[in-house]
Amino acid sequence: MAAEKIAFDLVSPEKLLLSAKADMVTIPGTEGYMGVMAGHAATVTTLRAGMIDVQADGRDDRYFIRGGFAEINASKITVLADEAIPMTEMDLAVLDQRISDAQEDEMAAQTDAARQKAAQLVDDLKLVRAAF
């Protein structure tokens, strides 16, 4: 008997990027990465910059997101991303520039909170870079 699938929608400000039935979706929650499958408890969570991994029909589709939030229930997960780019379209040079820009923001930060937020973005972007 096949495992139950969960409906998944990935929405960026520009468009619906993906609507699929997935075996599992891994999202970059604020408190860390979390895997979501059918039957998950209802949750709304904020997302940080990182990678979404959609496992469906024996393949993994990966997307870089810059943050946003996810609404999860037992049968569906909807991610509203601040920005989302399929990893197949991600340019390493662009990612390196984002890391450099975030490091500059960290050094120029005027408050501890701004410095901490920029440092988290640097770390998250470096994790995405390591996944290349």
Residue 1 lies in a domain: no
Same domain for 55 and 74, yes or no, is yes
Beta carbons of 84 and 12 less than 8 angstroms apart: yes
* Domains contained in the chain, number: 2
- Residue 3: pLDDT above 80? no
Q: For position 2, what pLDDT does the model report?
A: 57
Q: Burial-class residue 129 by CB neighbours within 10 Å (0-12, 13-18, 19+).
A: middle
Q: Which domain holds residue 23?
A: 6-87
53-89: per-residue pLDDT in tens?
A: 999 988 999 999 989 999 999 999 999 999 999 999 8
Structure tokens at 36: 């979501």
